[in-house]
């Protein structure tokens, strides 16, 4: 548990983009901890009783709010901000959606779809058939870009942003290059579970409270995000047996799309999932991995399906 001084960022301190002209909502000394009350990616447009019609009606001007920004004293351009992720408060529910126009197979899934999951006892109840381990992390972490003006939350960049790295859970430390005085750190898009790739465009999206520590490192130089993981953290993600579908071809993105298509088909044939649900399962539970990029002209991508999700573990 966190001990010592803890700053509480007020719940209404959030923005819908990156901009180095935003006024900081909180100032902290380097090395101090902060409690963030993070809103879900829909900014409360979706709730436990929502339907696919609510997905279709989303106001995209109010999605992916990020809590902050937090000004870290003595942070200067060229320094590095170390973000230690300390604690996550479990939510009680989350949502997963297929949003028209979004996702790695957006051209094949034109209709909105929504699943509300329960989060309880250290697991995520995605359906009566599928249970996921509760593995919380923030999808979006970043500092204000050095470049002036507003910037979209959605694409990641060298300053961080919507990276959706599921390994950034409790115990991880993220290193970000600092582009402006004070760093102006923000965080959002908290998830209860996700597969590597987040292929349908959403994970188990939740609101969540997070405790983290922000430290200025003048002895570390990074030009893009880097991170440290505690021993055993990656092994925890691969204890299950797996079924793996591959995609092979001269384009990595198309190989990834082929691997996802094959996984959707396998989930339907083997477990009876309808196509939209199978696509969502690929996003919340399955991991995309690059197997090789040296045997020209074709590369290989695998989509790993953990069989434990069907065993209630």
Compute φ and ψ for 62, nearest 5 degrees: -130, 50
pTM for the complete prediction? Answer: 0.95
Instruction: Write down the pLDDT at residue 4.
Output: 56
pLDDT tens for 33-69 read 999 999 999 999 999 999 999 999 999 999 999 999 9
pLDDT tens for 201-222 read 999 999 999 999 999 999 999 9
**Fold assignment, 240-310:** Endonuclease I-creI (3.10.28)
pLDDT tens for 179-191 read 999 999 999 999 9
Q: The domain 6-228 is classified under which CATH number: 2.60.120.580, 3.40.50.40, 3.40.640.10, 2.60.120.260?
A: 2.60.120.580
Helices (H) and strands (E) in the chain, counts: 3, 19
Q: Where in the chain is the domain with CATH 3.10.28.20?
A: 240-310
Sheet strands (E) in 21-101:
26-28, 32-38, 66-72, 80-89, 93-98
In whole angstroms, how large is the CA radius of gyration of the chain?
Answer: 19
Write out the two tokens for 270: 């083997």
The 10 Å Cβ neighbour count of residue 276 is 18
Which residues are CB-neighbours of 272 under 8 A, at least 6 positions away?
none
Residue 22 has pLDDT above 70, yes or no: yes
Residue 31 has pLDDT above 50, yes or no: yes
**Nearest CA to 160 among 217, 211, 223?**
223
pLDDT tens for 92-139 read 999 999 999 999 999 999 999 999 999 999 999 999 999 999 999 999
Task: Give the mean pLDDT of the chain.
Answer: 96
Which residues are CB-neighbours of 89 under 8 A, at least 6 positions away?
208, 209, 210
CA distances from 189 to 162, 163, 208, 227, 311 (A): 8, 10, 9, 18, 28
Q: Where in the chain is the domain with CATH 2.60.120.580?
A: 6-228
**Residue 1 — pLDDT band, cuts 50, 70, 90?**
very low
Spatial contact of 64 and 154, defined as CB atoms under 8 Å apart: yes
Instruction: Write down the pLDDT at residue 173.
Output: 98
Spatial contact of 135 and 170, defined as CB atoms under 8 Å apart: no
């Amino acid at each position: 548990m966190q001990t010592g001084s803890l700053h509480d960022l007020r719940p209404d301190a959030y923005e819908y983009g990156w901009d180095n002209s935003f006024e900081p909502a909180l100032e902290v000394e380097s090395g101090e901890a902060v409690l963030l009350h993070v809103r879900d990616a829909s900014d409360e447009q979706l709730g436990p009783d929502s339907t696919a019609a609510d997905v279709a009606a989303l106001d995209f001007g109010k999605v992916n709010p990020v809590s902050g920004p937090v000004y870290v004293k003595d942070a200067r351009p060229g320094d590095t901000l170390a973000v230690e992720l300390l604690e996550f408060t479990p939510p009680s529910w989350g949502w997963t959606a297929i949003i028209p126009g979004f996702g790695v197979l957006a051209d094949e899934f034109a209709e909105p779809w929504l699943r509300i999951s329960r989060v309880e006892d250290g697991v995520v109840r995605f359906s009566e058939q599928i249970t996921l381990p509760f593995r919380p992390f923030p999808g979006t972490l970043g500092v204000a870009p050095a470049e002036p003006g507003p910037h979209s939350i959605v694409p990641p960049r060298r300053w961080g942003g919507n990276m959706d790295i599921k390994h950034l859970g409790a115990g991880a430390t993220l290193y970000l290059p600092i582009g402006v005085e004070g760093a102006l750190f923000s965080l959002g898009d908290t998830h209860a579970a996700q597969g590597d790739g987040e292929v349908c465009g959403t994970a188990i999206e939740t609101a969540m409270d997070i405790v983290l520590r922000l430290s200025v490192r003048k002895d570390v130089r990074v030009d893009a995000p880097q991170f440290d993981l505690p021993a055993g953290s990656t092994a925890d993600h691969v204890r299950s047996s797996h079924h793996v579908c591959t995609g092979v071809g001269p384009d990595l993105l198309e190989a990834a799309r082929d691997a996802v298509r094959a996984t959707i088909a396998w989930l339907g044939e083997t477990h009876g999932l309808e196509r939209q649900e199978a696509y969502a399962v690929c996003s919340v539970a399955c991991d995309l991995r690059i197997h090789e990029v040296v045997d020209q002209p074709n590369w290989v991508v695998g989509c790993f399906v953990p069989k434990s999700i069907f065993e209630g573990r």
